[in-house]
Structure 1
Amino acid sequence: MATISTPGHTATTGIKHSIYWRDTEAVEPGPPLDRDVRCDIGIIGGGYTGLWTAYFLKQADPSLDIHIVEMDYAGAGASGHADGFVTPTIGHSLAGLVHGFGTDRAKTAYAVVGRSMLELDRFCRKHDVDAELETTGYFSVAANDAQIRLLRRDVELAESIGAKNSLRLLDGDEARERIGSPAIHGAFKVGGALLNPHRLARGLARVVRNLGVHIHEQTMATSVTKENGRHVITTPGGRVVADKLVLGTDAYQHQFGGFKHGVKPVWSYAVVTDPLTDEQLSRVHWPEREGFVESRNFIIFGRFTKDNRLLFGGGPAPYFYGRDMSENRHMRRDQATAFLRGALTRYFPEWDDVRIAYSYGGCVGMTRDFVPHVGNTDDGVYHAYGYCGNGIALTHTAGKILRDLILGRDTTYTNLLFVNRKERRFPVEPVSWVGAKGLTALLSLQDRYPNLIRAQLV
């Protein structure tokens, strides 16, 4: 079997600049498309969005003929390099959603995504997908007094959308009984899970194939046109002619006509350590292994992997001019490695001798209003993108939305707040790049001096 790797620089640092998850399960990509095909549904993108859409369509109507084209292998993009937090978060934050759309609509959306979180666990058990899923939930934590205020606000907002009796703000001593970090001054528990995103994507692809969906890996869509009322996906090896077209490409969505200014790819970075020894594990009290997320604009998060490595991620999320997504140029970012090494030491000084084994980045899709967009155009193009780094549960929900839109159903899913709504567009370059730099500076300033800017910025 051939393993898929990304460009790395290991000679001088000893750190692998490739995505850790990819080393947990080898990948042998399936064959590319080598002929013309005619089908009911053509899907571009073999990540969670495309795979869940195909899965739910096949569940609803097994007779549908569905073809997926994927330029690399199923799960190679954001789906496979995510950090493995299964969260109810929609877009950037609960506060932004409630303030932007109101309590009632936010409540409905969070209830639906919460259902997806539960169904992910059931899916893995039903289909024997070993995604290393741990239903531990995670903690939203505060590292200073200003962040304590943010936690209180989020608890109140969560209660307003129906999370009564389930959230309790822990003080510093109580929080450190759950995660023994001197940096944690308060916390509350959030329902959710931790998993291996790469193994989930590969397992989902196997299930979808077994349902009769055709997945053409190593197949680049070079153009998308419409001929005689049907959508035509042209690839180097053949064409897919489909009655309906799904674009499930998230951070790559800007490469398709009509979506260029709807989504922006920003880079998210993570570091992963060597596996901790029993002696190293004994230094910190962390009995239930929950993950945690620090309450700030540029979040910092930490978690264990199945083999007892520490994964730390987050921090500044750069956008590179011209929507540059080159792994050759940006997979390795020494500033991100240093920042996350510092965060790890701040949270767990007892582990300052633990070696960083991996440091890497990958793109996530951000929209200008910081919520995802799911919907369809008048000419039968269906889409879902802009999960803002919180897509593991949301893509499951998006698959149901796209199923219902494609089948012409009017359901709770098709009426969610982020379905077929008018979106704000990003400006052209260089204005887009300048704006991203300015917003990053402002959000970083608020993270560093939270009492200076108290307004909700995003």
Structure 2
Amino acid sequence: MAPSAMTRWTAALSDAQPVSFWLDDPGRPRAEPALTGTEQCDLLVVGGGYSGLWTALIAKERDPAREVVLVEGREVGWAASGRNGGFCAASLTHGLDNGLSRWPDEIGTLEKLGARNLDAIEEAVARYSIDCDFERTGEIDVATEPYQAEELTAWHGEMRRQGLASGTELLDTDAVRAQVDSPAFLAGIWDRDGVAMLHPAKLAWGLKRACRSLGVRIYEHTPALSLTQRGAGMGVRTPYGRIFARQVALGTNVFPSLVKRVRSYTVPVYDYALMTEPLTDEQLASIGWKNRQGLGDGANQFHYFRLSADNRILWGGYDAIYPYGGRVRAEYDHRPETYAKLAGHFFRYFPQLEGVRFSHAWGGAIDTCTRFSAFFGTAHGGRVAYAAGYTGLGVGATRFGADVMLDLLAGDRTERTDLEMVRKKPLPFPPEPFAWAGISLTKWSLARADEQDGRRNIWLRTMDRLGLGFDS
């Protein structure tokens, strides 16, 4: 990369605000007061992201008489639910490829349940009048290297053979560039119906309002500090009070679980994103994108990108940073060297947009597990349920996870709880320094694979055989 080009591209970051674009909104709702004193309820939900919000909402929909309390350590939607790219996918398995490789015998059921779950999200957005810029545009997986184009063609053929290609379209170079005009794009698969774009923070805020409308009692700035069994129920201690609940659902995801044995199943991986200023009509015309799909490229170190309602481009991904020891800290939320790298990549993909500036740059932690899709379980004799490990695809799948947690707490055998995906857990991560060494070697190997036409070295092939399958 020529130094002059890098200077021009990084100059586009000079006014970028170090905060999530989605959360930088004057319409952000005021926080609810913290809990003081003692509360009692039938169901306590810990965590005010999508996982907790959907659980509280569906619990009241299932039984309006159930007393539900939700506590959030800061404010609803402040973490991953307000920082993500706003891709709301039907897939429950972090993509069809991952699901087919791990659960081939039940992939048809998983795909059906995922489609039903996305439909239910769209229905809830309409029913509760949640203004979150919901657009069922679909997503295009694009190839930016010849080997990726060959892989996409082969993969679409496999999807057809498996009877899983409905609603998808294979795009050659001309067809994909007719959708979004980048000189980097060589081919694509367009999933026309399986992904929606939305404003992630507004979805969280709308779910909060919907929960309150059904009678859920919400306390913000109320971290849950400990979880103990109390008679036939559970007790949770908070800074200024206590809560006694018959049952508890944990939606804490990347943060340390109150069920300590669950902690080894996830590690935090930091992801970063940029948001441009709004494009002019001329700039938007120069790249097409009339159908407003989400996009992601086919590399191991991949980018994801989409249009906002006011025609900004969100550009994220590529670097995935694991902090030694797996600690979640605010100091990791910003990484200027990654922002500079992302800016350079953006203008290589869209050279016709040179001169566009970035208004926001931010990052945050994702709860990653070794199978890249959520896992579930119970503790304390079935009084506590948890779901975690969404690995960056939780905007849609957390609603399914909420249903699973409520099924488990009810002791119900359902189509969801019968799934192998629900009954079995991923492999846990090893302790340090082995986790750091393994993740670092994996990142290096994935970068090498991208440089060598996708060829996976012996480390990645070993991970594949072990069912860890590290890829995008």
Is TM > 0.5 for Structure 1 vs Structure 2? yes
Q: Tell me what 2:186 maps to.
A: 185
Q: Tell me what 1:3 maps to.
A: none
Asked whether 1:141 is paired with 2:131, we answer: no
Asked whether 1:204 is paired with 2:207, we answer: yes
Q: Secondary structure at the match of 1:341?
A: helix
Asked whether 1:436 is paired with 2:436, we answer: no
CA deviations over 1:85-111 (Å, ceiling 9, x no partner) = 111333444223212221x31221121
CA deviations over 1:200-245 (Å, ceiling 9, x no partner) = 0000011011111111111011111112232111001111111111
Verify the 8 A CA contact 1:95 1:157 in the aligned structure 2. Answer: no
Q: Tell me what 2:115 maps to.
A: 114
2:329 to 316, 323, 326: 326
CA change 1:92–1:297 in 2 (3 A) is farther
Q: Secondary structure at the match of 1:445?
A: helix
- Report the alpha carbon displacement of residue 126 of structure 1 after superposing the two structures with TM: 1.3
Within-5 A mapping of 1:39-118? 39-102=41-104, 104-118=105-119
CA distance in 2, matches of 1:119, 1:21: 23
- Report the alpha carbon displacement of residue 46 of structure 1 after superposing the two structures with TM: 0.9
Q: Tell me what 1:16 maps to.
A: 17
Q: Tell me what 1:163 maps to.
A: 164
CA deviations over 1:253-291 (Å, ceiling 9, x no partner) = 456411120111111110001111223222222211212
Q: Secondary structure at the match of 1:444?
A: helix
CA deviations over 1:133-158 (Å, ceiling 9, x no partner) = 11111111111112113323432443
Verify the 8 A CA contact 1:17 1:331 in the aligned structure 2. Answer: no
CA distance in 1, matches of 2:166, 2:56: 37
CA distance in 1, matches of 2:132, 2:77: 13
CA RMSD of aligned residues (A): 1.9
Verify the 8 A CA contact 2:259 2:379 in the aligned structure 1. Answer: no
Q: Tell me what 2:376 maps to.
A: 374
Verify the 8 A CA contact 2:103 2:421 in the aligned structure 1. Answer: no
Within-5 A mapping of 1:38-437? 38-102=40-104, 104-160=105-161, 162-190=163-191, 191=193, 192-254=195-257, 256-327=259-330, 329-377=331-379, 379=381, 380-437=383-440
Q: Secondary structure at the match of 1:419?
A: helix
Verify the 8 A CA contact 1:231 1:243 in the aligned structure 2. Answer: yes
Q: Secondary structure at the match of 1:27?
A: coil
> Residue type of the partner of 2:141?
S
- Report the alpha carbon displacement of residue 160 of structure 1 after superposing the two structures with TM: 4.9
> Residue type of the partner of 1:106?
I
CA change 1:151–1:90 in 2 (3 A) is farther
Verify the 8 A CA contact 2:333 2:365 in the aligned structure 1. Answer: no
Q: Secondary structure at the match of 1:260?
A: helix
Q: Secondary structure at the match of 2:341?
A: helix
Verify the 8 A CA contact 1:267 1:319 in the aligned structure 2. Answer: yes
Verify the 8 A CA contact 2:56 2:216 in the aligned structure 1. Answer: yes
CA deviations over 1:31-54 (Å, ceiling 9, x no partner) = 011121111111110111111111
> Residue type of the partner of 2:415?
T
- Report the alpha carbon displacement of residue 69 of structure 1 after superposing the two structures with TM: 0.9
Question: Segments of 4+ in structure 1 off by > 3 A?
Answer: 89-93, 156-162, 253-256, 454-457
CA distance in 1, matches of 2:325, 2:166: 47
> Residue type of the partner of 2:190?
K
CA distance in 2, matches of 1:377, 1:161: 37
CA distance in 1, matches of 2:216, 2:285: 47
Q: How many residues align?
A: 446
User: Which deviates further from its counterpart, 52-61 or 87-96?
Assistant: 87-96
> Residue type of the partner of 2:232?
G
CA change 1:84–1:420 in 2 (3 A) is same
- Report the alpha carbon displacement of residue 353 of structure 1 after superposing the two structures with TM: 0.8
Verify the 8 A CA contact 2:279 2:311 in the aligned structure 1. Answer: yes
CA distance in 2, matches of 1:99, 1:315: 23
CA distance in 2, matches of 1:335, 1:88: 33
Gaps of 5+ in 2: 1-10
Verify the 8 A CA contact 2:269 2:320 in the aligned structure 1. Answer: yes
Gaps of 5+ in 1: 1-9
CA distance in 1, matches of 2:380, 2:227: 16
Question: What fraction of aligned residue pairs are identical, expressed as a percent?
Answer: 31
CA distance in 1, matches of 2:144, 2:128: 40
